[in-house]
Amino acid sequence: MEQKMTMALYSGALDKLTAAGVILSGAAADDMEVDIYVLLQAARAFKKEIATNKDKLELAENAHLRDEFLQSLDKLNVMEWHEFFREAKELTNVKIHICGLAGKIWGAEKLDDFIDLADDIVGIGEYITSAQEADVHLFI
Q: Does pTM top 0.85 for this prediction? A: yes
Flag whether pLDDT at 125 surpasses 80: yes
Flag whether pLDDT at 129 surpasses 80: yes
Q: Which is nearest to 18 in space by CA: 61, 94, 108, 130?
A: 61
Provide φ and ψ at 117, rounded to 5°.
-75, -25
Q: Which residues pair with 121 in a beta bridge?
A: 98
Is residue 5 within a helix (H) or strand (E), and if so which, with residue range?
Answer: strand 4-9
All structural domains of the chain, each given as residue ranges with its CATH number in brackets, are 4-139 (3.40.1260.10)
Q: How far is CA 6 from the centre of its chain?
A: 11
pLDDT in tens, 13-31: 999 999 999 999 999 999 9
